Amino acid sequence: MEATVFFNTPQHSYLYDATNKAFMHAHPLWKPFKALEDQEVSAEDWEERIRDSFPLLYEQYQVDFPYYKKKFLFLKEQGFFQKLPLKRTISELGSEQVDRALDDIHQMVFEVTNRCNLSCKYCGYGELYSNYDVREGVDLNAAKGKKVLDYFIERWKLRPPRSYKREMYISFYGGEPLLNMPFIKEMVAYVEQHFPKEINYQFSMTSNCVLLQKNMDYLAEKNFHLLISLDGNEEAQSYRVNHAGINSFATIIPQIKALKENYPDYFGESVQFNAVIHNRNTVEGVLDFVKREFDKTPRISELNDSGINPEKVDEFFKTFQNIAVSLEKSKHRERTEQTYFIELPKVRGLGIFTTRFTDNYVRTYDEFFISTNCERLYSPGTCIPFSKKIFVTSTGKVYPCERIGEDHPLGSVDEVNGLQIDRESIVAFYNTFLSKIITLCNRCYRLASCSSCMYYFKDIEHPTCEDFLNRNGFEQYLSDYMQLLENEPHLQARIREEITFS
């Protein structure tokens, strides 16, 4: 594989060099120079060969030929125009990486209950999906929850957190977490009493708000970061129904308004909204409704297309709506895109493009001291287990996050044995997957920006990657985003000021 890729936009010619993580304008002579070098033609013979093979190109740049040849050879001396190694910077996962992730855990997510007082038509635990355990109305008990907290408290005694006043989220998830408030209150009290002073903890919750009013005093008192699930106006909310099939809109809107009225400062600082886009709402409609009613800009997400029930594929795609397509249809597109800027697909894509493919961005302090060209990747697009969070289900199973199916737990917790995490089994599981995909990864030109989580592969035992890019595909990818920067240069300045990529 070539480290240097030439590509064009309608305005300019460029090259991207993966070895140096550098973009630059590419003179038209450089591509044939590179081709001749690959054919092992001596540099002394380049002018004659180009004059014979590309007479019009040679005629146009005959005067400049010596200069651009000299510049090409200088760049080669600086490491440009090389080949990438057949085995690139992909390493097998080791137990020490899992250990470090557990030491530096950023978030603990507890599935408080798998009961829910709604029966949302597109729920990830509903009929459209098949990659989850049967929901049997189980609550997570406080004894198990405390065992998880104890596990980390004991780790921190042996290996104190490396960051001063490290931020830690203790998050409550469901089902509907407000259905199991005794668990939440016990956990909050336990954290307040036992967490070391070096941990700057914050409580958070995702809720449908059917039971908000009776619990709002407590949530405000403890300054919960509250994420409210709301798809927009009454029609937009019509997939979020109770068990009798009745739209939840009329139930929750008055309660959310009461929270805003009774605790305006808390509401302004700690309450956010999340909407799911589907065939009964639009990005523009959701943004306008939430802004008008609550003066907030919601997050908007698409339906998860992983783990779809084979018998419900047609129904899924009738319900599914793409965010980019919805934006295209906006009546006031420019205003909508300005409001929704951070979550725009093109903005997030451009952020990944500029942070992953250039050398002027670091994700950790360590990268100030260690060359990112030597960066090690573990299961390329998959997070190192527990590097972002740990998710504990109501039945006591442990996963690296709540957004994946329940086929492959990484541990468990019970009242007797506490939290059990078999690092060696986790490492073996991840590396077995890596061994099946690594050959494909090493041929992929987008490896540096891979976001293909192994848990989202349709067949984890025989993986094929839909995001794989060969050289031609990568050239088009580079061209698309460079053209976006050419046409809308203001995007990069706003990204730099407003968005943090992790």
Tokens representing 187 are 């956990």
pLDDT band at 466 (very low <50, low <70, confident <90, very high): confident
* Over residues 239-267, mean pLDDT: 98
CATH number assigned to the domain with residue range 95-392, chosen from the 4 options 1.10.238, 3.90.1200, 3.20.20, 3.30.70: 3.20.20
- pLDDT, residue 382, reads 86
Tokens representing 222 are 């403890």
CA–CA gap between residue 274 and residue 289 (Å, rounded):
12
Tokens representing 470 are 């060969």
Q: Which pLDDT tens digit goes with each residue over 286-314? A: 999 999 999 999 999 999 888 899 999 99
Q: Average pLDDT of the chain?
A: 90
What is the separation, in whole angstroms, between the first and last Cα of the chain? 28
CA–CA gap between residue 313 and residue 335 (Å, rounded):
34
Q: Which pLDDT tens digit goes with each residue over 375-385? A: 444 556 788 89
* Over residues 34-55, mean pLDDT: 95
- pLDDT, residue 305, reads 86
Listed range (181-190, 317-326, 437-446) with the worst mean pLDDT: 437-446
CA–CA gap between residue 144 and residue 75 (Å, rounded):
60
Beta strand 22-25 with 13-17 is antiparallel
Cβ proximity of 241 and 118 under 8 Å: yes
Cβ proximity of 430 and 379 under 8 Å: yes
Long-range contacts, 355-363 (Cβ 8 Å, 24+): 355/501, 356/448, 356/449, 357/16, 357/18, 357/21, 357/23, 357/448, 357/449, 357/478, 358/21, 358/22, 358/23, 359/20, 359/21, 359/22, 361/501, 363/501, 363/502
pTM of the model: 0.84
Tokens representing 115 are 């009961």
Q: Is the pLDDT of residue 268 over 70?
A: yes
Domain spans of the chain, in order of start? 11-82, 95-392
* Over residues 334-348, mean pLDDT: 81
Neighbours of 40 (CB within 10 A): 6
Tokens representing 426 are 């986790």
